[in-house]
A and B are shown apart, each in its own frame.
Chain A
Amino acid sequence: DGGITQSPKYLFRKEGQNVTLSCEQNLNHDAMYWYRQDPGQGLRLIYYSQIVNDFQKGDIAEGYSVSREKKESFPLTVTSAQKNPTAFYLCASSTRGQQMNTEAFFGQGTRLTVV
């Protein structure tokens, strides 16, 4: 069953703790993205990666970190430095390349709540 999978679906975190959200894809996509979704604010880009061992900050990278050690995986860590981490997080992947701007596929999302 091909696709992009995020886990867990729901995550609760105590203030001051770091948490890591998982994103795995078996679509052989080079590019992967992390977005944060808040009501009325659309999808805001946190980090993106176009190739293994390389990634770039998006518009709201502060308080987050990522790694891209494998093509299939792009985990997102929400650190204690993120002041308002409660949100819905979406991971996406797509092919890359100047001539191949193709569809980005999304995972089902992780809803993070700070308690």
Chain B
Amino acid sequence: KAGVTQTPRYLIKTRGQQVTLSCSPISGHRSVSWYQQTPGQGLQFLFEYFSETQRNKGNFPGRFSGRQFSNSRSEMNVSTLELGDSALYLCASSLDSTGPNTEAFFGQGTRLTVV
């Protein structure tokens, strides 16, 4: 059974550009969450999608957005990149979010560097 796949693994972008990150969850998992990890702020929740709907959103500016497709794959987009957006972006997939969440498996992350 394949795990959570995030692409690309590494990205270097220039300030002001936009970027799209992709996450393919474990087969059968319908919930996808995104997290940002930085040395200063630690791990912070960005948003969560379930059945193509955003159900939960963290405290990030509107430049951060996401979507989920019918096959549960998810993308997140960051527009007008800032130096502070440099981080490891992690995606987590969960089996069924209509009940208690007892597992959340992460991908290897996408390391974004903004120069």
Partners in one complex: no
Residues of B within 8 A of A (CB): none
